Amino acid sequence: MSEQIRVLLSEEELDRKIAELGERISKDYEGESVHLICILKGSIFFTCELAKRITVPVTIDFMCVSSYGASTVSSGKITIKKDLEESIEGRNVIVIEDIIDTGRTLRYLLDDLSARGPKSLKLCAMLDKPDRRITDVAVDYTGFEIPDEFVVGYGLDYDQRYRNLPYIGILDLG
Ligand SMILES: O=P(O)(O)OC[C@H]1O[C@H](OP(=O)(O)OP(=O)(O)O)[C@H](O)[C@@H]1O
Ligand code: HPA
């Protein structure tokens, strides 16, 4: 069995899109500040690059949730492995995700975080696989819609590998 990776989105395409998203967010929150919640581990690269492109004051916190384990198929069960360090009460929160696939993770986070009393709560996902959606969730800021393929790179893993690729690639398990 030999794993192969085909480039789907280059580093340049990702950079351009992230700059656009940063500009939109900066306009939408003019005169306010935003509190980014990076969903570990996959969103770490996207969050760092996006935060650099936002011109209003930014704070960042981290939450780790997991459902995929060492597989390309969601287990369907979301577990919080690390919770936020700061309260989000009264803050403009944006949840930053690398990918929305079935939608289960963002649905879970939306329900959990909205109960904590933020001033506003929006969702931002670098990638969206609409064909795979099981749970309906409205994403406020989306980078790219992608086909129903398992992708790796730019934070996304297969069994914890490939997160460090500077592009997004389609994984062929051979
Ligand atoms: O829309 P869904 O079907 O719920 O899938 C999306 C989630 O799956 C991945 O996380 P994973 O559980 O693999 O954890 P990781 O970020 O640590 O890789 C990804 O980072 C999203 O959080
Ligand atoms: O396509 C994917 N790749 C990596 N992790 C994921 N989590 C949901 N979908 C994916």
Distance between CA atoms of residues 144 and 45, nearest Å? 16
Q: To 5 degrees, how large is the angle CA 52–CA 55–CA 60?
A: 55
Residue 19: what residue type?
A
Once rounded to an integer, what is the mean pLDDT over residues 32-46? 97
Nearest CA to ligand 2 atom 3: 151
Question: How far away, in angstroms, is 67 Cα from ligand 1 center?
Answer: 6
Nearest CA to ligand 1 atom 21: 99
Q: Would you state the structure tokens that stand for residue 37, as one six-digit string?
A: 């919640």
The ligand with the least distance to the CA atom of 134 is 1
| pLDDT surpassing 60 at residue 70 | no
| Contact of 144 with 153, CB cutoff 8 Å | no
| pLDDT surpassing 60 at residue 52 | yes
Once rounded to an integer, what is the mean pLDDT over residues 99-126? 96
Phi, psi of 58 (to 5 degrees): -125, 135
Q: Which residues of 115-135 are buried (b: 16+ CB within 10 A; e: fewer)?
A: eeebeebbbbbbbbbeeeeee
Architecture of domain 11-147 in CATH?
3-Layer(aba) Sandwich (3.40)
Report pLDDT digits (tens) over 74-93.
667 888 999 999 999 999 99
| pLDDT surpassing 90 at residue 73 | no
Report pLDDT digits (tens) over 8-20.
999 999 999 999 9
> Strand locations in 29-73, DSSP E?
34-40, 58-66
ω into 41 cis (within 30 of 0)? yes
Pocket of ligand 1 (CB under 6 A): 39-42, 66-68, 74, 97-105, 157
The ligand with the least distance to the CA atom of 74 is 1
Catalytic residue numbers read 101
Report pLDDT digits (tens) over 151-170.
999 999 999 999 999 999 99
pLDDT for position 21: 98
| ipTM value for the complex | 0.97
Residue 139 DSSP one-character state: -
Residue 3: what residue type?
E
Mutate to test the pocket of ligand 1, among 39, 68, 136 (most ligand atoms within 8 A of CB): 68
Does 150 sit in the ligand 2 pocket, CB within 6 Å? yes
pLDDT for position 7: 98
